[in-house]
Protein backbone atom coordinates (compact mmCIF):
# COMPACT_ATOMS: atom_id res chain seq x y z
CA UNK A 1 0.00 0.00 0.00
CA UNK A 2 2.83 2.36 0.88
CA UNK A 3 4.58 1.53 -2.38
CA UNK A 4 1.40 2.26 -4.35
CA UNK A 5 0.93 5.63 -2.61
CA UNK A 6 4.56 6.47 -3.23
CA UNK A 7 4.25 5.62 -6.94
CA UNK A 8 1.11 7.79 -7.22
CA UNK A 9 2.94 10.63 -5.48
CA UNK A 10 5.87 10.28 -7.91
CA UNK A 11 3.49 10.32 -10.89
CA UNK A 12 1.75 13.45 -9.58
CA UNK A 13 5.00 15.30 -8.88
CA UNK A 14 6.61 14.22 -12.17
CA UNK A 15 3.57 15.14 -14.24
CA UNK A 16 3.20 18.52 -12.57
CA UNK A 17 6.93 19.20 -12.91
CA UNK A 18 7.07 18.22 -16.58
CA UNK A 19 4.02 20.32 -17.41
CA UNK A 20 5.59 23.31 -15.66
CA UNK A 21 8.98 22.84 -17.34
CA UNK A 22 7.46 22.57 -20.78
CA UNK A 23 5.48 25.75 -20.25
CA UNK A 24 8.54 27.62 -18.99
CA UNK A 25 10.75 26.52 -21.89
CA UNK A 26 8.02 27.06 -24.44
CA UNK A 27 8.80 23.68 -25.95
CA UNK A 28 5.22 23.09 -26.97
CA UNK A 29 3.80 24.91 -29.95
CA UNK A 30 1.10 27.39 -29.06
CA UNK A 31 -2.36 25.96 -29.45
CA UNK A 32 -5.13 28.18 -30.69
CA UNK A 33 -8.31 28.24 -28.59
CA UNK A 34 -10.89 25.84 -29.95
CA UNK A 35 -8.34 23.87 -31.97
CA UNK A 36 -9.35 20.21 -31.74
CA UNK A 37 -7.10 17.52 -30.37
CA UNK A 38 -6.65 14.87 -33.04
CA UNK A 39 -6.24 11.30 -31.87
CA UNK A 40 -6.55 8.42 -34.27
CA UNK A 41 -9.33 6.22 -32.92
CA UNK A 42 -8.71 2.52 -32.47
CA UNK A 43 -11.29 -0.10 -33.31
CA UNK A 44 -12.00 -3.31 -31.41
CA UNK A 45 -14.55 -6.04 -31.84
CA UNK A 46 -17.00 -6.04 -28.95
CA UNK A 47 -18.61 -9.18 -27.48
CA UNK A 48 -21.58 -8.75 -29.82
CA UNK A 49 -19.23 -9.02 -32.83
CA UNK A 50 -19.45 -5.35 -33.87
CA UNK A 51 -16.31 -3.30 -34.44
CA UNK A 52 -16.42 -0.18 -32.26
CA UNK A 53 -14.19 2.79 -31.54
CA UNK A 54 -12.82 2.78 -28.01
CA UNK A 55 -10.07 5.37 -27.92
CA UNK A 56 -11.46 8.87 -27.87
CA UNK A 57 -9.59 12.17 -27.52
CA UNK A 58 -9.92 14.14 -24.31
CA UNK A 59 -11.93 17.31 -24.91
CA UNK A 60 -10.15 20.63 -24.34
CA UNK A 61 -12.62 21.59 -21.57
CA UNK A 62 -11.82 18.48 -19.56
CA UNK A 63 -8.10 18.66 -20.24
CA UNK A 64 -8.05 22.22 -18.89
CA UNK A 65 -8.58 20.93 -15.33
CA UNK A 66 -4.86 20.73 -14.57
CA UNK A 67 -4.68 19.78 -10.93
CA UNK A 68 -1.82 17.40 -10.13
CA UNK A 69 -4.36 14.69 -9.31
CA UNK A 70 -6.18 15.17 -12.63
CA UNK A 71 -2.93 15.09 -14.62
CA UNK A 72 -1.81 11.92 -12.86
CA UNK A 73 -5.24 10.35 -13.31
CA UNK A 74 -5.30 11.17 -17.03
CA UNK A 75 -1.84 9.65 -17.42
CA UNK A 76 -3.08 6.44 -15.82
CA UNK A 77 -6.16 6.51 -18.09
CA UNK A 78 -3.86 6.67 -21.12
CA UNK A 79 -2.05 3.54 -19.93
CA UNK A 80 -5.39 1.85 -19.32
CA UNK A 81 -6.58 2.71 -22.83
CA UNK A 82 -3.54 0.93 -24.25
CA UNK A 83 -4.45 -2.23 -22.31
CA UNK A 84 -8.08 -1.87 -23.41
CA UNK A 85 -7.04 -1.60 -27.05
CA UNK A 86 -5.06 -4.84 -26.66
CA UNK A 87 -8.09 -6.45 -24.96
CA UNK A 88 -6.12 -6.99 -21.74
CA UNK A 89 -9.19 -6.25 -19.67
CA UNK A 90 -7.80 -7.23 -16.27
CA UNK A 91 -4.89 -4.79 -16.62
CA UNK A 92 -7.14 -2.08 -18.09
CA UNK A 93 -9.53 -2.53 -15.16
CA UNK A 94 -6.68 -2.05 -12.69
CA UNK A 95 -5.48 1.11 -14.46
CA UNK A 96 -8.92 2.73 -14.60
CA UNK A 97 -9.63 1.85 -10.96
CA UNK A 98 -6.32 3.43 -10.02
CA UNK A 99 -7.18 6.53 -12.07
CA UNK A 100 -10.45 6.87 -10.13
CA UNK A 101 -8.59 6.42 -6.86
CA UNK A 102 -6.15 9.20 -7.75
CA UNK A 103 -8.93 11.58 -8.90
CA UNK A 104 -12.46 10.58 -7.98
CA UNK A 105 -13.84 13.45 -10.08
CA UNK A 106 -12.36 12.24 -13.38
CA UNK A 107 -15.43 11.33 -15.42
CA UNK A 108 -13.27 10.03 -18.26
CA UNK A 109 -11.81 7.38 -15.96
CA UNK A 110 -15.33 6.33 -14.97
CA UNK A 111 -16.34 6.12 -18.64
CA UNK A 112 -13.44 3.79 -19.47
CA UNK A 113 -14.03 1.78 -16.31
CA UNK A 114 -17.60 1.27 -17.55
CA UNK A 115 -16.23 0.31 -20.95
CA UNK A 116 -14.12 -2.47 -19.40
CA UNK A 117 -17.07 -3.68 -17.32
CA UNK A 118 -19.09 -3.85 -20.54
CA UNK A 119 -16.38 -5.89 -22.25
CA UNK A 120 -16.37 -8.25 -19.26
CA UNK A 121 -20.16 -8.56 -19.60
CA UNK A 122 -20.66 -6.96 -16.18
CA UNK A 123 -23.48 -4.83 -17.48
CA UNK A 124 -25.16 -3.65 -14.23
CA UNK A 125 -21.78 -2.43 -12.95
CA UNK A 126 -21.10 -0.71 -16.26
CA UNK A 127 -24.46 1.09 -16.13
CA UNK A 128 -23.73 2.34 -12.60
CA UNK A 129 -20.33 3.63 -13.66
CA UNK A 130 -21.90 5.41 -16.63
CA UNK A 131 -24.25 7.21 -14.23
CA UNK A 132 -21.23 8.46 -12.28
CA UNK A 133 -19.38 9.42 -15.47
CA UNK A 134 -22.42 11.33 -16.72
CA UNK A 135 -22.68 13.32 -13.49
CA UNK A 136 -19.00 14.31 -13.76
CA UNK A 137 -18.97 15.03 -17.51
CA UNK A 138 -22.07 17.23 -17.51
CA UNK A 139 -20.39 20.15 -19.29
CA UNK A 140 -19.01 18.13 -22.20
CA UNK A 141 -21.58 17.34 -24.92
CA UNK A 142 -19.05 15.12 -26.71
CA UNK A 143 -18.47 12.91 -23.68
CA UNK A 144 -22.16 12.84 -22.78
CA UNK A 145 -22.79 11.51 -26.30
CA UNK A 146 -20.14 8.83 -25.69
CA UNK A 147 -21.85 7.87 -22.43
CA UNK A 148 -25.24 7.62 -24.15
CA UNK A 149 -23.76 5.55 -26.98
CA UNK A 150 -22.21 3.04 -24.57
CA UNK A 151 -25.42 2.96 -22.53
CA UNK A 152 -27.39 2.06 -25.69
CA UNK A 153 -24.87 -0.64 -26.59
CA UNK A 154 -25.20 -2.16 -23.12
CA UNK A 155 -28.99 -2.10 -23.30
CA UNK A 156 -28.82 -3.91 -26.65
CA UNK A 157 -26.39 -6.48 -25.25
CA UNK A 158 -28.67 -7.12 -22.26
CA UNK A 159 -31.63 -7.85 -24.55
Q: From residue 63, how far is each of 88, 121, 133, 135 by CA, in Å?
A: 26, 30, 15, 17
Is residue 125 within 8 Å of residue 117, measured between CB atoms? yes
**Residue 1 pLDDT > 70, yes or no?**
no
pTM of the model: 0.63
User: Residues 31-67: pLDDT tens digits?
Assistant: 444 433 333 444 555 566 655 555 555 555 555 567 8
Distance CA 144, CA 13 (A): 31
Instruction: Enumerate domains of the chain plus CATH numbers.
Output: 42-158 (1.25.40.10)
Amino acid sequence: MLLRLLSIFVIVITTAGLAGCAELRGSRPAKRPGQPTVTKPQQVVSPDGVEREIIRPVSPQLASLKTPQRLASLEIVERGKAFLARREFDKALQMFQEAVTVDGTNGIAYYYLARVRYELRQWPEAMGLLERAESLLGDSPEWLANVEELRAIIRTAQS
